[in-house]
Amino acid sequence: MSQFSAFGDALRQSIQSFDYSPRVDEYGTVRSIMDDVVQIDGLSTCHYGEVLQFDGGHLGLALDLREDGVGAVMLSGATEIVSGSFVRGTGHVANIGVGDSLLGRIINPIGQPLDGRELRCDKFRPIESPAPSIMDRSPVNQPLATGLLAIDSMIPIGRGQRELIIGDRQTGKTSIALAAMINQRTEQNTYCVYCAIGQKGSTVAQIADTLKNAGAMERCVIVAATADDHASLQYLAPYAGCAIAEHFMLQGKDVLVVYDDLSKHAAAYRSMSLLLRRPSGREAYPGDVFYLHSRLLERAAKLSDAQGGGSITALPIVETMAGDISAYIPTNVISITDGQIYLESELFNAGIRPAVNVGLSVSRVGRAAQHKAMKDVSGSLRLDVAQYRDTAIFAQFGADIDQSTAQMLRHGERLTQLLKQRQDDVMSLAQQVAVLVAFDADLFDTVAPKDITEKRGDMLRFLREHCEGTMQAINASGKLSPSDREMLIAYCKRFFGGGSSAKSE
């Protein structure tokens, strides 16, 4: 009996201490579903951006709040939802797993792995969050090198900057972004996030293989919403990628984020908005598409030392039609970013890669963050390229030109060949400086234009073997001392077999 008595006392004590707090879940019902957009009756306490759970565990996102119901987009299982299905609010906004476990992985915008391997994340972060305040930011004063001579010398990018890459289809926009990501493989404090929005699945796989073959994938995260995915996933992709980048930034890391591309992102948002019966604005786009991209790109920043000193550098990509940069989406993003790299179809078709139009390309921040060594050797480079391309147009018509103009055309033709570069052929700061020093000393004037690229590679290999100390000093300090310049010129002359005499300092 004593055992039963003890058991009864324990049971009474457990009942007395039991605290019952009932949870109240508000349910709604699906009124209609069309093209992954759901109209729901009920859910009067739902919040904007709240994750909704449907029958079968499928998820949706509330994007339109009305007095008589909610408009939502499906994130999964749209084909299994029918009119009358139950739906409840989860009480939290959309979030995504973050952390080092994502490095080297390919995921979708809701954190599910796409590379066939298991993924576990201990930390989560809201997909949308406020941009850092002005007081939490610091000036952009550190360069983010892309490894492309044409970009780093004429349109430099700083850590924390937002630099738009814009141009027609198939002009090498993604190649520039990939070159920048590959060039970060030696930076121990820098990570990369690539957001594929509306790209083909094969294209995403090819990009992953390119990064893996270059040894850069282990420091990258790919967030992919392919063309086969719902418009809602394409809409979430850049915000999910930015949330992953923010986690690293708040740890004091530098992050490069590529949004490829925001034209498809705007189109996905437009299709969702029209199905949600939102009012359309200029050129059939919803009037808040500017806010769509501004609240994304404003999250890129260079944090102050008090906030850890991390940064997010954004490279949004926008596709134009027939080179029209005055269209709605291009002008939107141009007004938000700190400059643009404009790629021209005619230059691309002429074999000039990257096909940068120096007249329409600008970096409003990068010069302040450029390495001093690059500043010293690239001062007039942009003007020389622009002047050559303008003059070459008239020379094509057989116009009479004087000797100085002919010399300028010969010089510009060789400079154009020097600036040609493949995405996987990235160059360090010292290599870029050495090429420009040799060009400034007229050492390439005796080389035929078709042999310039090969000669440049041979010269860099020669300098790596015979002038390694000077090259390492330039890379380490970011400066070009007079003695280093003299050393580079001497070894370059030695490589060219005497070459032309160097210009006076």
Give the active site residues: 364
Distance CA 178, CA 194 (A): 9
DSSP type of residue 356: B
Specify whether the CB–CB gap between 456 and 421 falls below 8 A: no
User: Tokens 């096909």 map to which residue?
Assistant: 355
Q: How many CB atoms lie within 10 A of CB 373?
A: 24
Distance CA 180, CA 60 (A): 35
How many residues are present in the chain?
505
User: Tokens 């449907």 map to which residue?
Assistant: 54
Q: Residue 318 — φ and ψ, nearest 5°?
A: -130, 135
Helix (H) or strand (E) holding 250: helix 231-250
The three-state (H, E, C) secondary structure of 86-123, written as one string: EEEEEEEECEEEECHHHCCCEECCCCCECCCCCCCCCE
Residues sharing a CB contact under 8 Å with residue 134, sequence separation 6 or more, in sequence order: none
Q: In the sheet where 339-343 sits, what is the strand order?
A: 106-107, 220-225, 190-197, 254-260, 311-319, 164-167, 339-343, 362-363
Nearest of 308, 313, 298 to residue 184 by alpha carbon: 313
Specify whether the CB–CB gap between 313 and 129 falls below 8 A: no
What is the amino acid identity at position 172? G
DSSP type of residue 303: B
- Between strands 311-319 and 164-167, the pairing is parallel
DSSP type of residue 449: G
Distance CA 452, CA 371 (A): 25
What is the amino acid identity at position 467? C
- Between strands 37-42 and 27-34, the pairing is antiparallel
CA 271 and chain centroid, separation: 24
SS3 412: helix
SS3 424: coil
